[in-house]
Structure 1
């Protein structure tokens, strides 16, 4: 009986190690959260998903970013060429999701 418990425990350990360490299909995905000012230049609807194109006016590069807006209600309230303070998540698949957005006090 003791031998069966030891074998069962070792089998479970081997399965867990394979699942989380060795198996290449399991990825350690990380999410980066950030905040910045945004100026919205374009609003898009693609496959019933809502997106904005925006840039950070305080960045020296002013790189245009495509960002997904989760809520249609929020999307409808956003104005073009308006400055917002936004918190967003950089997803592992190089997509960006808006988490929170509000008008800038400038």
Structure 2
């Protein structure tokens, strides 16, 4: 870049910044608020779609006064297979806008040796 002028460098920087902004808008959907939660949950149901492409659990926070059931999508089938009904877990999960929750982390609540 030895013989590039300052204006060419600024144009390159602006184009790179524009590309980053475009990627952010496309992939992060900034108009939708992202909500993250960490809590104890008790899994009451395990379900999947008829084509097995989507799986989820129904759970509630036992420490919440209203104990409202909610759906958490499980992307990894190995994780879904390891989840047990009527068991308490510590979980962190998130959602964007009005979408369903997705797991970020899941740990059996009594497992002190689990990797984090």
Same-fold call, TM cutoff 0.5: yes
| Root mean square deviation, CA, Å | 2.1
Equivalent of 2:36, from 16, 33, 37? Answer: 33
Q: Could you say which structure has the larger radius of gyration?
A: 1
Q: 1:69 to 1:27 in 2, by over 3 A?
A: same
Shift of 1:91: 1.9
Shift of 1:69: 0.7
Calculate the TM-score normalised by the size of structure 1. 0.71
Where structure 1 has 5 or more consecutive residues not aligned to the other structure, the ranges are 1-25
Calculate the TM-score normalised by the size of structure 2. 0.65
Equivalent of 2:47, from 44, 49, 53? Answer: 44
Deviation track 1:2-26 (CA, whole Å, cap 9, x = no partner) reads xxxxxxxxxxxxxxxxxxxxxxxx8
For residues 103 and 64 of structure 2, the distance between their equivalents in structure 1, rounded to whole angstroms, comes to 18
Where structure 2 has 5 or more consecutive residues not aligned to the other structure, the ranges are 1-28, 112-116
Shift of 1:82: 0.2
Contact 1:91-1:97 at 8 Å conserved across structures? no
SS at match of 1:86: strand
Deviation track 1:16-71 (CA, whole Å, cap 9, x = no partner) reads xxxxxxxxxx8612201110101000000114111000000011000000110110
Equivalent of 1:63, from 46, 62, 68? Answer: 68
Contact 1:87-1:101 at 8 Å conserved across structures? yes
2:6 match: none
2:23 match: none
